[in-house]
Amino acid sequence: MFKETPETAVHHEIEINDIKPAYNSSYPASKANSKSREPDNFLLNMPDVVCLSHLRWDFVYQRPQHLLSRFANHGRVFFMEEPMFVDTDTPFLDLSEREGGVQVAVPRLPHGLTPEQLEDVQRELLNGMLQEQGIASYALWYYTPMALGFTSHLSPVLTVYDCMDELAAFKFAPPRLKELELALFQKADLVFTGGQSLYEAKRDKHAAVHAFPSSIDKAHFGQARRRQEQPADQASIPSPRLGFFGVIDERLDIALLEDLADAQPDWQLVIVGPVVKIDPATLPRRRNIHYLGGKSYKELPSYLSGWDVALLPFAINESTAFISPTKTPEYLAAGKPVVSTPIRDVVRPYGEQGLVHIASSATEFEVAIMAALGQKQDEAWGKKVEHFMANMSWDETWGQMVRLMAQAAKQRKGKAA
């Protein structure tokens, strides 16, 4: 029932002394205590981290990968995904190691199981992994409340709910999600949110909710500021290129893309990312819209380097009410002017501080893009972006989270004594 497939891992060490205090004073302050010295002992004696996720590790490199790969520099991390259904009579857990040391566990289950059977089988597979891997002292790190159905029997030393999205508002959200999230609030020691709007929506549901908006790997995306060889599928696309990368789903305003392409046939819209949850046939097809498919995290700077303007063409609907797009600071770190629809966590703080153009309609997008096309050499704007992002990094975000975890673990230990 338990199959292990190890791969070679490469660790990029982060020293405990490198953890710095609050990563961006421009955001409303988290409740983290930046002066705490408790992270040292916590990391030196870090429990195993068992993450329960609705996202797949190998799908899109984003918040979970940035954070959990840092934990893997200090101890063991197990990332359990949602099941994959295969032609098998016997359920098993496929466990394999990724670069950086994270162990990814994928339940491989037979088709046709009832919801109750699904939970029973996942509980059995998880219990088997804990036993066979000698996972005795561990923290549970939840990305999906749905996992509570097969983990509520566990006794972790710490429980963290990293609420990166309002999952109940997404297309095809399970009916039980809201109910299980309320139960997870009761179980969790800490709740982190993926943005300020989500923090405001959740702060009254738990005594220890902390806002951690999207952060940035500046060195990685800063590569786009240098001249790079253009990828083969983008090299022949003429300029100006207006680009977007990310998951293409119900959150993307496809009508806006269509109207913009029709209004400015000489502008080239470059769309990079996988299509999920929507029918690809519904996407607008124009000679100046180029769907290049999903790309690896490593490849993104080379695509960004060839864009003139970066876009955030999100629809304004229930599924985008609380999103905090990670690509906002990634675009800016690449030195690209950005035009976005009025997503709250983009308007605050990026729009209000003049870092990003905000537009609601195709006509407004045209005006904003024309302004953005002339912004590349705007030194004042560049310095403003650099100042705003000076203290932003995933190391900073992760370091603040570790401080809070160390404090929560100490408090929990004190109560048990």
Distance CA 150, CA 153 (A): 7
Q: Residue range 36-48: average pLDDT?
A: 81
The total domain count for the chain is: 2
The answer on 250 and 169 residing in a single domain is: no
pLDDT (tens digit per residue) in 155-188: 999 999 999 988 777 766 788 889 999 999 999 9
Domain that holds residue 34: 2-215+393-416
Residue 15: what pLDDT? 32
269 and 295 assigned to the same domain: yes
pLDDT the model gives residue 415: 77
Same domain? 17 vs 90: yes
Same domain, 139 and 258: no
Please give the Cα distance from 119 to 11 (Å, whole number). 34
In this structure, are 47 and 164 located in the same domain? yes
Same domain, 266 and 309: yes
Q: What kind and span of H or E run contains 187?
A: helix 177-187
Q: Are 55 and 64 in contact (CB under 8 A)?
A: yes
Residue of 86, 125, 129 lying closest to 108 (CA atoms):
86
Tens of pLDDT, residues 368-377: 999 999 997 8
Highest mean pLDDT: which range of 1-5, 16-20, 94-98, 172-176: 94-98
Amino acid at 181: E
CATH number at residue 408: 3.40.50.2000
**Residue whose structure tokens are 């976005």:** 340
229-248 pLDDT tens trace: 999 999 999 999 999 999 99
* Shared domain check, 150 and 23: yes
Where do we find the tokens 């908006």?
Answer: 213
Q: What is the mean pLDDT of residues 375-397?
A: 93
Label residue 27 by pLDDT band (50, 70, 90).
very low
Q: Are residues 253 and 176 in the same domain?
A: no
The SS3 call for residue 166 is: coil
Q: What is the pTM of this model?
A: 0.86
pLDDT, greater one: 28 or 76: 76
Same domain, residue pair 222 and 370: yes
**Per-residue confidence (pLDDT) for residue 349, from 0 to 100:** 94
Measured from the Cβ of residue 56, the count of other Cβ atoms closer than 10 Å reads 14
List the one residue out of 213, 214, 193, 212 whose CA is nearest residue 202: 193
Contacts of 35 (CB under 8 A, 6+ apart): 21
